[in-house]
Amino acid sequence: MTVTAGALEEIAANCCFDGWQRRYRHYSATLRCEMVFAVYLPPQAELGTVPALYWLSGLTCSDENFVHKGGAQRLAAELGVAIIAPDTSPRGAQVPGDPEGAWDFGHGAGFYLNATQQPWAENYRMHDYVVWELPALLEELLPIDARRGISGHSMGGHGALICALRNPGRYRSLSAFAPISHALDSPWGQKAFAAYLGEDRASWKEWDACELIARGGERLPLLVDQGAADGFLVAQLQPEKLRQACAAAGHPLRLRVHPGYDHSYYFIASFIDDHLRHHALALLAP
């Protein structure tokens, strides 16, 4: 496939289940830096456009973690669904990065929000990048159309929830693995929100899944998988608060808690097929 010169720079391409796992670099006007992302194009993309599942990864990850460890390509090829994996944060020498010792903040920890505080506000606008800029680019230049689903893991699960909940009609389907369900009450979320958004906790509610569910709007059926042996379950992830918010608001939720499973990609790979089929029901519907 030929791509518009200068818009996307292909940096890797691997044939996979008769489709192509590709990696691209481009300049993001939203984030004001170069970004790298991965795309799996199923074999059906050789004949026409296909729908896309956007996958948002978690803290410390890049676009490559899910591509290498998630095991999603085989069924995506069968279903005819593209998978798009953006990076988790803006990166580069010109972008404010990790404060000393802060693995859960900065590069790799963008939280898929639009920062309002300095020095983060200029670059840390991952919400607008994921929801608007990246899809517009790919739907113009690749055989991907506007049938969109979104999913993710941990911080990326939080990102999937807020991207869909803040933008009714933008996505056809939604799911998450071990999401940070109530970031307002999570140490990870509180740390990121205070730095990126400032100390006014009222502004944080715009980026909290439970708060957004309570406000109503679109009610996309939500599939969430959680490992019962996840070390972050109680303090950081709090799926019961998501269950309570959905029950109070009448939001359709299928929350599955799996004994023995932790927070790792072994957990994700074990249940990714269920999520792909969940999305395909909506993405491939007439």
Contact 217, 168 (CB under 8 A): yes
Q: Give the pLDDT of residue 100.
A: 72
Structure confidence at residue 1 as a pLDDT band (50, 70, 90): very low
pTM of this prediction exceeds 0.85: yes
CA–CA separation, 90 and 80 (whole Å): 30
pLDDT digits (tens, 9 = 90+) for 154-163: 999 999 999 9
Per-residue pLDDT at 138 exceeds 50: yes
Question: Counting Cβ atoms within 10 Å, is residue 216 exposed (0-12), middle (13-18) or buried (19+)?
Answer: exposed
**Which active-site residues does the annotation give?**
154, 230, 263
Contact assessment for residue 244 and residue 231, using Cβ atoms and an 8 Å cutoff: no
Average pLDDT value for residue range 7-17: 96
* Furthest-apart CA atoms within the chain: distance in Å: 51
**pLDDT value at 180 more than 50:** yes
User: Rounded CA gap, 99 and 189, in Å?
Assistant: 16
Residues 150 and 53 sit within 8 Å (Cβ to Cβ): yes
Interval 259-282: pLDDT, tens: 999 999 999 999 999 999 999 999
Model confidence over 95-114: pLDDT tens digits?
Answer: 998 777 678 888 989 999 99
**Residue 5: pLDDT band with limits 50, 70, 90:** very low
